[in-house]
């Protein structure tokens, strides 16, 4: 996989780090934020682990119905717990749709990392060592 960092739509001249928006849409196999579904490479996998509301849920329902996207994974929705008429929840029973209750952070590894950070912070506090300073 070759990760791309997309430029803002209709913006250029941002430097070599940024891939033009249309190129990112046309070449991306896995896209982790929303974009206009009809401009994307045919049938990408869409993943939204960031924030509810990034993906237009009604457009998502249409894109799944029209097979414009192959698969969708959401760990966040605009309202949690979701309303009974939530568009993403209407699709959650499909084999190509995964909707989880905002638990991407809850892996064993993520929880261990949080515990390690907590213990490190407590140890630094006891030793009166400053941490995470902004200069």
For residue 36, the number of C-alpha atoms closer than 13 Å in the C-beta half-sphere is: 8
Residues acting as catalytic residues: 51, 80, 102
- Residue 98 burial (10 A CB sphere; 0-12, 13-18, 19+): middle
CA dihedral in degrees (4, 99, 51, 27; nearest 10)? Answer: 20
What is the Cα–Cα distance from 40 to 47, expressed in whole angstroms?
14
Which H/E stretch holds residue 30?
Answer: strand 30-31
Structural contact between residues 88 and 63, judged by C-beta atoms closer than 8 angstroms:
no
């Amino acid at each position: 996989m070759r990760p791309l960092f997309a430029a803002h739509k209709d913006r250029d001249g941002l430097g070599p780090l940024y891939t033009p928006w249309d190129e990112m849409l046309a070449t991306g196999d896995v896209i982790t934020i929303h974009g206009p579904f009809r401009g994307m490479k045919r049938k990408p996998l869409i993943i939204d682990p960031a924030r509810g509301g990034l993906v237009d849920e009604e457009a998502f329902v249409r894109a799944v119905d029209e097979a414009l996207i192959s698969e969708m994974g959401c760990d966040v929705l605009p309202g949690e717990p979701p309303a009974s008429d939530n568009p993403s929840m209407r699709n959650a029973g499909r084999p190509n749709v995964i909707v989880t209750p905002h638990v991407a952070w809850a892996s064993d590894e993520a929880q261990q990392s949080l515990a390690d950070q907590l213990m490190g912070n407590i140890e630094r506090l006891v030793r009166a060592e400053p941490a995470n300073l902004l200069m």
